[in-house]
Amino acid sequence: MNKCKSFKPSVDNNSKILILGSMPGIKSLAEQQYYAHPQNRFWKVMGSICKTSDLHELDYNKKLEVLLNNNIALWDTIKSCNREGSLDSDIQNEIPNDIRKLLKKYPNIKTICLNGNKSYSSFIKYFPDLSEKYNCFKMPSTSPANAKYNLNMLINEWKITLDK
């Protein structure tokens, strides 16, 4: 069983939307980059929303910069856990990130998007009160494991929420 640790948040004082994943997968942990697996559709979805069609092809720091320029912060619900492989269903012994502290430090954040079931269930488990104070949305996962949604479906679902 591998010990996994999430990354620091990508956030600034202009952030209005916080996107929370669960825990980066093996490829992301190895690269030290959010959504590094080439089959994860996160950067393509965000590229469409941020009107930067080649976002998925840009340098990682540029990707984060584009999100921040669109007032979007990025982090994970889980700070650390044990897990073999990359599946959220294999996460054990999770410890949450201090999302309350982040939200206090960045008061312009009003919307929280939870990328997938595990991010949502962990958020509700550890921070049930925050769902009443913020606009919280359970979003369809951009993971390739979520084969139920094709790229266009993901873009449409995410756009509806992020355009509110």
Per-residue pLDDT tens digits for 2-34: 888 999 999 999 999 999 999 888 889 889 999
Output the pTM of the full model. 0.93
For 7, 100, 134, 136, the CA distances from 128, given in Å and listed in that order, are 23, 11, 11, 11
Burial of 1 (0-12, 13-18, 19+ CB in 10 A): exposed
Mind listing the pLDDT tens digit for each residue in 113-157? 999 999 999 999 999 999 999 999 999 999 888 889 999 999 999
CA angle 139, 142, 148 (to 5 degrees): 85
Alpha-carbon distance of 9 to 19, in angstroms, equals 10
User: Topology of domain 2-162, per CATH?
Assistant: Uracil-DNA Glycosylase, subunit E (3.40.470)
Q: Considering the chain, what percentage of its residues have pLDDT values greater than 70?
A: 98
Residue 28: other Cβ atoms inside 10 A: 22
Q: Which helix (H) or strand (E) covers residue 19, if one does?
A: strand 17-21
Identify the three-state secondary structure at position 91. coil
Pairing mode, strands 92-96 and 78-83: antiparallel
Amino acid at position 29, single letter:
L
Give the start-to-end residue ranges of the domains of the chain. Answer: 2-162
Task: Tell me the catalytic residues.
Answer: 40
